[in-house]
Amino acid sequence: MKKLSQSVSYEVKDGVAVLTTDNPPVNAMSYHVRQGLVDGMEMAQSDEDAKAVVIHCEGRTFFAGMDITEFGNPDVPDSPWITGVIEAFEGSSKPVVAALHGSTLGGGCETALGCHYRVAVPSAKLGQPEVKLGIIPGAGGTVRLPRVMGVQKALEMMVSGNPISAGQALAVGLVDEIVEGDLLSGAIAFANKVVSENRPLVKIRDSDQELEEARENPAIFDDFRKSIARKTRGFKAPEAIIQSVEAVVRLPFDEALQNERRLFDECQNSPEAKAQQYFFFAEREAKKIPDVPKDTPTREIKKVGMIGAGTMGGGISMNFLNRGIPVTIVETTQEALDRGLGIIEKNYASTAKKGRITEDDVKKRMSLLTGSLELEALSDVDLVIEAVFEDMDVKKSVFEKIDKICKPGCILASNTSYLNINEIAAVTSRPQDVIGLHFFSPANIMRLLEVVRGDQTSKEVLATCMKMGAGIGKVAVVVGVCRGFVGNRILAARMRQSDDMLLKNAMPQEIDRVVFDFGFPMGSFAMRDLAGLDIGWERDKTPDKDTNIRHQLCTRGRLGQKTGGGFYDYKEGSRTPVPNAEVEQLIEEVSRNAGITRKEISPEDMLKRMIYAMVNEAAKILDEGIAQRASAIDVIWVYGYGWPTYRGGLTYYADQIGLNNVVEDLERFVKEYDDPELEPAPLLRELAKEGKSFRDFVRLDHLEA
C-alpha cells in the first residue's frame, strides 16, 4: 500500500486500483484528501496492473461533504479544488467505481457523480444538504443530478436537502448496484465485471435523455415553485437551485456548470447563507455544557413513566414508543386514560394511513404502551415525566408521591411550562434527580426540548437527559430556572408588546402581518386563536375586565379556531384567519373604556417593538445565566417558535442590526409609547456602549463552575 497524502492511500487488488481515504470522523474532503485522490488517479492511469479504479472510504462513511473548517481559511491551497477531483474521475481512461456507505452528502455526493459507476451498501444514504446552509450544490450537483434522475426528483432532493436511501437511489439510477456483504470486495468485483463486459465509461455530463421531459414541459419548474412556496418563503437557496436546474435544461453542460457557480457564489455571499451557517454551528454548540464534560457518566433509560395523558402526556409518550422504549401512562380516571390512549392510537392510525408507517409499526408501538390509574405502576421505570395541570400544588403532591414510589436512580422530570423546578425538587428526598423537560406542542412533532437545570440537578442527570433528548430526535437545549424559562419568557415579552399595540395602536391583522412578513409562520393573535383564547382565562386576574380584549372575546364565545372565531374568523374547515369588523369595533370600544386615544403606528415600529422587546429579554436571560450562551436562545427560537433560520436567530439578528441601534430605538420607544418595560437591559446597554455584540458575551463564572 502506498500513502499518497496523510489521508489517502493506493493499492492494487484483483487488478483494480483501490484509492482509500481515511479522514475521521466523516471523511470530509479536506485539502489532503483532494490532493491524494488526484495523485492517485494519475498513478492509476499509468499503472499497468490496474484495469479499473475503486474509490473507497474507511470508517463510518463515504465522503460526507466538504471540510467546513477550511471555509474562508486563506492558508488552505485552492488547488486541487473538488471540481479537479471530479474531473480526474470523470476523465479517467479506466472505469472509476465509487463504493458508498454511510452518508454520501454534499461534495461527497457530487464526487460520486463524477465516477462512472456507483455501488452502495443497503444502509447507505445519498443527499445534497447544501440548501440547509443557505447555498446550492456548487460542484456540478445541480447539473449532473437531473441528468441521472430527471428534473422533478433532482429538484425534490436538492431543495429538501434530505438524503435518499440506497434503495431509492438504485430505483432512480443514482446507484448501479447494491452490495450485500463486504463493500470493498463487492466494489472490486463490480469493477472487474465492468471491465470484462467492456461496459462504457459512463460520463453523466454526456447524457441528457433525462432532461427531455422538462424540455417538453417547462411548466414543471413553476409547478415545483408553487409546491414549495409556503415552506421555503424567505429562503434564497431553493430558488437558486431551481434557476440552476432551469438553465441545465437550456444550456450546454459547461455553460450550465458556470451558471451554477455564479448562483453558488451569489448564495454563499448572501446574508441568508451567513445566517444559516451561523445557525448550523449554534445548533452544534447547544449540545455542549461547559461544566459537564462529554465523558460524564449517564444512566440508561429503558422504561419511561408518564403522568397525565392529556395533550402533552400523549405527545411526549409517542416519542419514546417510536424508538421502541416502553411507556406506562398514569391518569386519575379511567375516562381520561382511555381518551389519552385513544388519541395516541388514532394519531398512529392516521400516520399509517398516509403511508409513513406500517400497520405493523402501529401494533408494535401500541404494544409498548400501558395505562394505569396507580402511580405504583411506575416503581420500576428509569425516567418519569410529569405532565399534569400547570398548578404548583398539584405538581408538588405528584412529586411527593413518586419520590416514595420510584426506584433509586429514577429521574423525576416535570414538563411544566413556567413553574419553578427548584420548588418542585424541594418536596422530594432526591433533588439531584429532579429536572425539567419542557417539550413543545405537538410534542410528537416539535423538535425543541428545553432541559431545565435545577440548582441541585446532578451533572449525571443533566447529561442523561441531553443524551435521551438527542436519542428521541429532539434538539435539547439547557436552560436555567425562571418563569417561562427561555422560550416562553421571551414570547411573553413579545406578547406584551402586541397586546399593548392592540389596545392603543393597531388591529390584530396589522400586527400579525409584520410578524408574518418578517418570516414567522404566523403572528401572535393567529397563534392564540390556534391555541384557544380560554387557556388560562379563568385564572386571568386582570382587575378591569372592560379593558381586557381577551376577556371580551371569551365572554362572547369567541375562543379561537375551535369555535370558528377569536381575534379572527375562520371559515369551516379552514385555518386561514379572516379579519372581523365586529372584533375591530370591540377593540376600539375597549380602548375607549380604558380612556385611550388610539394612535397610528408604522409597520417598522410595530416590528421593532416586538423584536427588540424580545432582544431585551434575551439580554436579561443571558445576564442571569438562564441561557448558557446567546446562540442557545437562537436555537430555542428557531426550533420552538418558528424564527426564520435565514435570519440566524434572535440574538444573531440583533447583532446584525447593531446593539447600539437596538438600544437607541428602545430608548425612543420608552418615551414615545410610554412603556417602561422597553427600558434597555443593563447588559444590552453595556455591550452596545463597548461596541460589542451578543457573540462577545461569555459568562466566565459559568465556565469556571
Applying CB under 6 A, the span of 74-82, 135-143, 438-446, 587-595 interacting with ligand NAD comes to 438-446
Q: How far is the CB of 143 from ligand NAD (least distance, A)?
A: 46
Pairs from 222-230 (Cβ < 8 Å, separation ≥ 24): 224/152, 224/155, 224/159, 228/159
* Exposed e or buried b per residue across 477-510, where buried means at least 16 C-beta atoms within 10 angstroms of its C-beta: bbbbbbebbbbbbbbebbbbbbbbbbbbbbbbbb
Any residues with CB less than 8 A from the CB of 335 and at least 6 apart, and which?
A: none
Q: How far is the CB of 201 from ligand NAD (least distance, A)?
A: 58
Per-residue HEC secondary structure of 277-345 comes to HHHHHHHHHCCCECCECCCCCCCCCCCEEEECCCHHHHHHHHHHHHCCCCEEEECCCHHHHHHHHHHHH
Q: Which three cell numbers stand for residue 306?
A: 408518564
- At residue 414, the 3 state secondary structure works out as strand
Asked if 436 interacts with ligand NAD (CB under 6 A), we say: no
The residue (of 115 and 312) whose beta carbon lies closer to ligand NAD is 312
Q: DSSP states of 11-58 as a string?
A: EEETTEEEEEE--TTTT-B-HHHHHHHHHHHHHHHH-TT-SEEEEEE-
Asked if 114 interacts with ligand NAD (CB under 6 A), we say: no
Exactly one of 48, 58, 130, 255 is catalytic; name it: 130
Q: What is the Cα–Cα distance from 353 to 595, expressed in whole angstroms?
A: 55
Asked if 311 interacts with ligand NAD (CB under 6 A), we say: yes
Decide if 130 is catalytic: yes
Element spanning 358, H or E:
none
The residue (of 259 and 488) whose beta carbon lies closer to ligand NAD is 488
The residue (of 229 and 445) whose beta carbon lies closer to ligand NAD is 445
Site string for ligand NAD, 393-412 (x = CB under 6 A): -x---x--------------
Applying CB under 6 A, the span of 13-21, 301-309, 567-575, 665-673 interacting with ligand NAD comes to 301-309
Applying CB under 6 A, the span of 58-66, 415-423, 461-469, 552-560 interacting with ligand NAD comes to 415-423
Q: How far is the CB of 681 from ligand NAD (least distance, A)?
A: 26
Asked if 423 interacts with ligand NAD (CB under 6 A), we say: no
Q: Which of 40, 305, 313, 648 binds ligand NAD (CB under 6 A)?
A: 313
Q: Which three cell numbers stand for residue 376?
A: 405504583
Q: How far is the CB of 397 from ligand NAD (least distance, A)?
A: 7
**Cis (ω within 30 of 0) for the bond into 293?**
no
Q: Which of 42, 60, 254, 389 binds ligand NAD (CB under 6 A)?
A: 389
Closest residue by Cα to residue 193 from 180, 204, 177, 208: 177
Element spanning 613, H or E:
helix 603-623
Closest residue by Cα to residue 158 from 249, 59, 88, 224: 224
Q: Which of 269, 332, 367, 585 binds ligand NAD (CB under 6 A)?
A: 332
The residue (of 124 and 381) whose beta carbon lies closer to ligand NAD is 381
Q: Looking at residue 562, what DSSP letter applies?
A: G
Q: Which of 123, 350, 441, 555 binds ligand NAD (CB under 6 A)?
A: 441
Q: Looking at residue 681, what DSSP letter applies?
A: P
Asked if 415 interacts with ligand NAD (CB under 6 A), we say: yes
Asked if 310 interacts with ligand NAD (CB under 6 A), we say: yes
The answer to whether residues 684 and 663 touch, using CB atoms and an 8 Å cutoff, is yes
**Cis (ω within 30 of 0) for the bond into 543?**
no
Asked if 387 interacts with ligand NAD (CB under 6 A), we say: yes
H-type helices in 449-523, by residue range? 459-471, 487-504, 508-518
Indicate the residue type of 320.
F
Asked if 173 interacts with ligand NAD (CB under 6 A), we say: no
Q: How far is CA 408 from the centre of its chain?
A: 35
Exactly one of 58, 70, 110, 260 is catalytic; name it: 110
Applying CB under 6 A, the span of 48-56, 114-122, 310-318, 592-600 interacting with ligand NAD comes to 310-318
Element spanning 103, H or E:
strand 103-105
The residue (of 371 and 508) whose beta carbon lies closer to ligand NAD is 371
The residue (of 220 and 526) whose beta carbon lies closer to ligand NAD is 526
Asked if 347 interacts with ligand NAD (CB under 6 A), we say: no
Q: Which of 388, 402, 449, 502 binds ligand NAD (CB under 6 A)?
A: 388
**Beta strands 8-13 and 16-21: pairing type?**
antiparallel
Asked if 417 interacts with ligand NAD (CB under 6 A), we say: yes
Residue 324 burial (CB count, 10 A)? 9
Q: How far is the CB of 330 from ligand NAD (least distance, A)?
A: 5
Asked if 102 interacts with ligand NAD (CB under 6 A), we say: no
Q: Which three cell numbers stand for residue 472?
A: 428521541
Instruction: Indicate the residue whose CB is closest to ligand NAD.
Output: 310
Asked if 336 interacts with ligand NAD (CB under 6 A), we say: yes
Decide if 374 is catalytic: no
Q: Looking only at residues 445 through 464 of this chain, which bind ligand NAD when binding is defined by CB under 6 A? A: none
Asked if 308 interacts with ligand NAD (CB under 6 A), we say: yes
Give the number of residues in contact with ligand NAD, rule: CB under 6 A: 23
The residue (of 30 and 415) whose beta carbon lies closer to ligand NAD is 415
Q: What is the Cα–Cα distance from 351 to 93, expressed in whole angstroms?
A: 50
Q: Which of 164, 312, 434, 462 binds ligand NAD (CB under 6 A)?
A: 312
So which residues are the catalytic ones? 110, 130
Residues forming the site for ligand NAD (CB under 6 A): 307-313, 330-332, 336, 387-390, 394, 398, 415-417, 439-441
